[in-house]
Amino acid sequence: MTNTKVSTTLSRTRLFPATKWSEISALVADAFRMTQEERERFHGSRIAKLIGAIPFLAQCEDAERTAVAHLGTYLLSIRETKRYFNANREDRVSVLARLRLGSNFEGGEKAIIDRGLSLLALNMVYDYRRDAEEDVFLGKYNPVSEGDIDFALAIENLTRTIEAIPCGEMEEILPVQAAAEDFWNGEPTSIECD
pLDDT tens by residue, 7-20: 344 446 899 999 99
Mean pLDDT of 147-167: 96
CB 180 within 8 A of CB 122: yes
Q: Is the pLDDT of residue 31 over 60?
A: yes
Domain residue spans of the chain: 18-181
Q: Kindly report the pTM of this predicted structure.
A: 0.87
Determine contact, residues 69/41, Cβ cutoff 8 Å.
Answer: no
On the question of pLDDT at 2 being above 50, the answer is no
Span between the terminal Cα atoms of the chain, in Å: 65
What does DSSP assign to residue 64?
A: H
Give 68: exposed, middle or buried? Use CB within 10 Å, 0-12, 13-18, 19+. Answer: middle
% residues pLDDT > 90 (the chain):
76
Total residue length of the chain:
194
Say how many C-beta atoms besides its own lie within 10 A of residue 125's C-beta.
Answer: 24
Among the listed residues 180, 41, 185, the one whose alpha carbon sits nearest the alpha carbon of residue 121: 180
Alpha-helical (H) ranges within the chain are 18-31, 36-44, 46-57, 63-78, 110-138, 151-164, 168-173, 176-181
